[in-house]
Amino acid sequence: MDVRGKVAVVTGSSAGVGRATAELLARLGAKVVVNYARSAHDAEETVRGIRDSGGVAHAFQADVREDAQCRALIDSAVSTYGSLHILVNNAGMTRFIAHSDLEAVTEEVWDEIMGANVRGTFNCTRAAAPHMKAAGEGAVVNVASVAGIGGGGSSIPYGASKAAIINMTRSLARTLGPEIRVNCIAPGFIEGRWLRGGMGDDRYEETKRGVTERAPLRAVASPEACADAIYALIGHGVHVTGQTLVVDGGATL
């Protein structure tokens, strides 16, 4: 898909992987809706940066756990730009809970994580699908994690939610073809404030060092590297659907 002139919604794009993806798509000529749940300042900063660079974007607040808000988010893209071609389901959350601390995994934790990560991905894709079919083409990329493959990650519910996204990617790819391709990336350790804030400085640096040492590419992923992988599935993977691309420098080999 040539993204020039296409319309894209990137959920959770006020920072991190989502921001890097929104900026990349806009730089390549797409019109982008920058979604956020709470970080209005960061979202507007992202939009300003895109516009200052000559791109087209606007911000839209929506909590992806809520179906009505997802539909409003998609409607904002279509009503503003006339159509929809690209959806990146990046919004998500976690709790940093040791896997051995089973009692800390409450119903609230399950509801929050599965709601944002799994239900949100489904809600946005369902809302987007009719518009993509009307446009005659569509590309959906979901953001999972290697935790969904190996069962690691920040908490057991987080790993389970990312495994569900990988499984759902396959189901949606079968359901929404031939007009819409649905793929997924599964990053490993991503440098940035999200992991640093959850892990704390010392654990963050120790983990980053360990992953770097064992990865064949001797590096951890950056948000920009993840954005490049997302774009590859949108812009170049024209005969690829239902697949999950691991972006971890080979650390899980």
Q: Examine residue 201 and state whether it is found in any structural domain, yes or no.
A: no
Question: Which pLDDT tens digit goes with each residue over 45-62?
Answer: 999 999 999 999 999 999
Q: Examine residue 28 and state whether it is found in any structural domain, yes or no.
A: yes
CATH number reported for the structural domain that contains residue 94 in this entry: 3.40.50.720
Question: Which pLDDT tens digit goes with each residue over 217-241?
Answer: 999 999 999 999 999 999 998 899 9
The answer to whether 158 is a known catalytic residue is yes
Length of the chain: 253
Q: Examine residue 209 and state whether it is found in any structural domain, yes or no.
A: no
Question: Which pLDDT tens digit goes with each residue over 138-168?
Answer: 999 999 999 999 999 999 999 999 999 999 9
Catalytic: which of 81, 158, 204, 231? Answer: 158
Question: Which pLDDT tens digit goes with each residue over 192-221?
Answer: 787 888 888 888 898 899 899 999 999 999
Range of the domain at 133: 7-188+223-244
137 vs 27: CA distance, rounded Å? 21
Q: Examine residue 89 and state whether it is found in any structural domain, yes or no.
A: yes
Question: What's the whole-model pTM score?
Answer: 0.96
Which strand ranges, in their side-by-side order, compose the sheet holding 244-247? 56-61, 31-36, 7-10, 86-89, 138-143, 180-187, 244-247
With 0-12 / 13-18 / 19 or more C-beta atoms within 10 angstroms meaning exposed / middle / buried, residue 29 is middle
Domain count along the chain: 1
68 vs 17: CA distance, rounded Å? 25
Task: Map residue 36 onto helix, strand or coil.
Answer: strand
Q: Examine residue 144 and state whether it is found in any structural domain, yes or no.
A: yes
Q: Are strands 86-89 and 56-61 parallel, antiparallel or unpaired?
A: unpaired
Take residue 179 and report the two structure tokens written for it: 């007009």
